[in-house]
Structure 1
Amino acid sequence: MKIYTLHSKQNLPISITEAWEFLSDPKNLKTITPDYMGFNILSGADKPMFPGQIIQYIVTPVLNIPTKWVTEITHVQDKKYFVDEQRFGPYSLWHHKHFLKEIPGGVEMEDIIDYKIPMGILGQLVHPFIVKPKLDEIFEYRRKKLIELFGVYKE
């Protein structure tokens, strides 16, 4: 069983409060997800984030095939971190940790995702050609969109 890790960091020139308010609001996921992903929240985004919150989405990650994705917010520490875990969806495992840290002149966002691809060895074979590039592309889109929304961090 192969478990992969995606690690991403980005600094933004905003306060930790502004970063938290944006990133912890599930409705903003659509804003930072490429349009071609067909991201649409079905339910669960009507309240501020809390442990136990179930959020249901539709995404079209590959070949324009709509896929239902259900995540649970399992941990929340105000203005510090939150964790979402897939309960149903395209991965065998999806555990996504979002960390925020105040830095001089802004905030550092850090994402650590541990994930497992379904379909055993076949999944492992397609990972470097389909899954990893797609995740990298999504996070690059997010990085650019956050700069567009909040500006470039200057040290």
Structure 2
Amino acid sequence: MNTTTLNFDQFVPATIENVWNFFSNPENLGLITPPSMNFRIISDWNENVKMFEGQEISYTVSPLFHIPLKWITVITKVERNKLFVDEQKSGPYKLWVHQHVFEEVENGVVMRDILTYAIPFGLIGTLIDKLIVYKKVNDIFFYRKNKIDEIFKQPAEII
């Protein structure tokens, strides 16, 4: 299986508690996802329930060509205020593992996203990744970075 791993670091000028509470709430994912992707959580979600290992989150999203897809992720690891990992249970990828790592630093938090994914369909999937998916995923994270800057009200440092 041919995998791609991407790393994105961003400084967030907020407390670790505020950053953790924002990113560990799946409802906020819609705020930092490009509107063109039509992201919508379809599973029942209770804000009072803290993120936990084994938690499943179902949503619809249109990653390419405005075609809506159902995607289910499972939270596979949680270390409060440090990291969580979501993995695709079902969806468009052959593999999707997204690590969200939070490091408290002076005046804020460095948030690190480590994403490993693979496209199905063998060599054709590898070509699709190189021609379309890789750029699309990078564009999504660029949008996300700008929205996080806006939400937390300070231009991010590029690390």
Shorter-chain TM band: over 0.9
1:40-59 to structure 2, matched below 5 A, reads 40-46=40-46, 47-59=49-61
Q: Which amino acid aligns with 1:31?
A: L
**1:22 pairs with 2:38:** no
Residues matched between the structures, number: 155
Runs in 1 of length 4+ with deviation above 4 angstroms?
none
1:4-153 to structure 2, matched below 5 A, reads 4-46=4-46, 47-150=49-152, 151-153=154-156
Task: Report % sequence identity.
Answer: 45
CA deviation vs aligned residue, 1:73-122 (integer Å, no higher than 9, x gap): 01101100000000000100001110000111110000111111011100
* Cα distance in 2 for residues equivalent to 1:122 and 1:39: 26
Structure 1: tracts of 5 or more residues without a match = none
* Cα distance in 1 for residues equivalent to 2:28 and 2:126: 31
Q: Which amino acid aligns with 1:4?
A: T
Structure 2: tracts of 5 or more residues without a match = none
Change (3 A) 1:18 1:138: same
Deviates more, 1:116-125 or 1:44-53: 44-53
C-alpha RMSD of matched pairs (Å)? 1.3
* TM score, norm. by length of structure 1: 0.96
